[in-house]
Amino acid sequence: MATEQLPPRRPRGRPRDTGDKLCPRCERATTRLESLSPGHVFCRSCIETALHTHGTCPGCTTDTLLPGLDSEGQSICSDCAGYTRNFTCSRCSKERAPYRRGLCEWCSLADDLDSVLQPSAFSPESAFGSALRSHLLEAARPRSIVRWLQNAQVRDLLSGLARGDVDATHESLDQLPQNASLAHIRALLIDRGQLPSRDEALARFTAWIPMKIDTVRAPESRDALRRFATWHHLRRVRMSAEKDRGATSAAHNAKQEITVAANFLNWLGDRGTALSSCGQEHIDLWVSNGPTTRYTVRNFLTYTAASQLSRSLVVPRRTVKSIRRVDKLERIEMIRRILDDRSHPTSHRLAALLLLIFGQPITRIVSMTIDDFNLVDTGAQIRFSDDWIELPPAIAKLVADHLENRAPTMTRAVDQSHYVFPGSRPGQHIHRDSLKTALNRLGIDLLGTRNTTLDELVAAMPSPLVADSLGFSYSALAQHESFQGLRFERYVAGRYSD
Ligand SMILES: [Zn+2]
Ligand SMILES: [Zn+2]
Ligand SMILES: [Zn+2]
């Protein structure tokens, strides 16, 4: 079967450099073509894909490696593709990506693990060694572990653990190249009680602080940032780590504030100004000439003023935009920003998106109940009337996150509340003024929407085109339709009724 006049296959990964050769499979320029089988040369990316595609061959229904392509672009086995190279591993007899000396990647990894872990040392008390071996052999990409095992420190650690004469500590593991295998080994040790459990987000944040501080050039500024990072943030992140939800989101927010503060300090340094002599004019210049994340410097400056490291300075509120006046692109930008900006609480982001995407009024958003959402395996649905509307994946994720953690305060259980946005008093939903304040903080001008007519709101709703440009994927036409005019009349009807 001719395999070379084929429709182009979309290669994985980022675009590579140009070269003077053309890969016959993906039709992209490359500097080097390699042999997949005698007489069949392709670029590295296509060969990698070919050697890691397994499944049932549509030509002969064998379940095996599918390195070839048929005229329709379907992956087929090497026999059907007419390849003469033998892809069968000389040990496990499976057709798998050959790695070295006739062995597949898995058999090569098994050999390496045996030499590192020395199975003779697998006494009953070293069950860890065999547990580790079988865990690592389940890897989807054994080659990356083979390479990882080339690090002498990694080999020493693993053989020591298998023999039982090395007590791993989190600190010793932190010194090794970090990858998924190490994370796995750490989890295995914690699971077996050989390591105390710890919050990985907190650990990573703790290790990240000094690296970030090093990026600040002036010593005085570095000191201010160190104090802010340690006394203001690290303390909070530690407190979150002790709670059930863990430190992930607290660490994320902290990193964002510290990063902006570091940028601000270097920006100030570039202007020959020390933090102690920073004036209001600097702040005004800083926020008016850059991305809106620059406003995030507020907490840092509140901290430095309170610690007498700077004067008392005012970071203005973000310039707010009226929904009424935003055009399509601005609105997309706003939706995108709210989806990405994890520095704001999930509840506020979700409420903002309901407003921006569905034009729902605040009074209606605050009183939504969990029955208005339907979490399904494939995502989430929402209803404003009797129709369930499929939510785009990014928003479905936010809904799932929010519904899981919607307590208004850290200490209150919400299991009893059926409101999507519970208030601080038991059995009540959030007050609309609180939500308005929160949305203003997100940069949404609600006053501007007061006089907005319903028509304008409808016009501002996402067409599938807008949704597509946000990177939402719609697998079915039915999902497109649920965003189109007809059904919108029903949301609108729902809106009128409140
Ligand atoms: Zn290619
Ligand atoms: Zn076949
Ligand atoms: Zn094998």
What does the mean pLDDT of the chain come to? Answer: 76
Backbone angles phi, psi at 64, to 5 degrees: -160, -165
* Angstrom distance (rounded) from CA 6 to CA 8: 6
pLDDT at 452: 35
DSSP3 helix / strand / coil % (the chain, rounded to 5)? 50, 10, 40
| Alpha carbon of 84 to ligand 2 centroid (Å) | 13
| Alpha carbon of 75 to ligand 2 centroid (Å) | 9
Contacts with 98 (C-beta within 8 Å, 6 or more apart), sequence order: 51, 87, 89, 104
For residues 188-221, b (16+ Cβ closer than 10 Å) or e, as one string?
bbeeeeebeeebbbbbebbebbeebbeebebeeb
| Alpha carbon of 368 to ligand 2 centroid (Å) | 55
The type of residue at 180 is A
DSSP 497: T
| Alpha carbon of 34 to ligand 1 centroid (Å) | 10
Among all ligands shown, which has an atom nearest to the Cα of 60?
2
| Whether the Cβ atoms of residue 34 and residue 1 lie closer than 8 Å to each other | no
| Alpha carbon of 179 to ligand 1 centroid (Å) | 28
Contacts with 155 (C-beta within 8 Å, 6 or more apart), sequence order: 116, 149
| Alpha carbon of 452 to ligand 3 centroid (Å) | 67
pLDDT at 227: 95
| Whether the Cβ atoms of residue 149 and residue 182 lie closer than 8 Å to each other | no
| Whether the Cβ atoms of residue 304 and residue 224 lie closer than 8 Å to each other | yes
| Whether the Cβ atoms of residue 396 and residue 357 lie closer than 8 Å to each other | no
Among all ligands shown, which has an atom nearest to the Cα of 142?
3
pLDDT at 155: 86
Which element (helix H / strand E) includes 420? none
- In this prediction, what percent of the chain has a pLDDT beyond 90? 25
Among all ligands shown, which has an atom nearest to the Cα of 110?
3
Among all ligands shown, which has an atom nearest to the Cα of 91?
3
Give me Rg for the CA atoms of the chain.
Answer: 29
| Alpha carbon of 56 to ligand 2 centroid (Å) | 8
> Is 369 in a helix, a strand, or coil?
strand
Can you tell me which residue has the tokens 């029955």?
371
| Alpha carbon of 207 to ligand 3 centroid (Å) | 39
> Is 154 in a helix, a strand, or coil?
helix
pLDDT at 414: 45
| Alpha carbon of 36 to ligand 2 centroid (Å) | 16
Segments in the chain below pLDDT 70: 1-18, 119-126, 244-245, 318-332, 359, 385-387, 407-417, 426, 444-498
Q: Which DSSP string corresponds to 464-494?
A: HHHHHHTT----SHHHHHTTSHHHHHHHHHH
| Alpha carbon of 266 to ligand 3 centroid (Å) | 54
DSSP 317: P
| Alpha carbon of 42 to ligand 1 centroid (Å) | 5
* Angstrom distance (rounded) from CA 276 to CA 296: 19
| Alpha carbon of 87 to ligand 3 centroid (Å) | 10
Q: Are strands 373-376 and 321-322 parallel, antiparallel or unpaired?
A: unpaired
Can you tell me which residue has the tokens 């703790």?
206
> Is 123 in a helix, a strand, or coil?
coil
Q: Which of 107, 210, 115 is nearest to 154 (CA)?
A: 115
Contacts with 268 (C-beta within 8 Å, 6 or more apart), sequence order: 221, 274, 275, 278, 282
Give the tens place of pLDDT for each residue, 415-464: 556 788 887 776 778 888 888 878 877 776 554 443 332 333 334 444 33
Question: How many other β-carbons are positioned within 10 Å of the β-carbon of residue 278?
Answer: 21
Question: How many separate helices (H) and strands (E) can be counted in the chain?
Answer: 24, 15
| Whether the Cβ atoms of residue 450 and residue 363 lie closer than 8 Å to each other | no
* Angstrom distance (rounded) from CA 35 to CA 41: 4
| Alpha carbon of 52 to ligand 2 centroid (Å) | 16
- For the chain, give the number of residues: 498
Q: Which of 438, 422, 418 is nearest to 430 (CA)?
A: 422
pLDDT at 212: 94
- Angle made by CA atoms 85, 87, 92, in degrees to the nearest 5: 150
Question: How many other β-carbons are positioned within 10 Å of the β-carbon of residue 307?
Answer: 13
pLDDT at 407: 58
* Angstrom distance (rounded) from CA 464 to CA 42: 38
pLDDT at 162: 79
Report the predicted TM-score, pTM, of the whole model to 2 decimal places.
Answer: 0.45
pLDDT at 145: 84
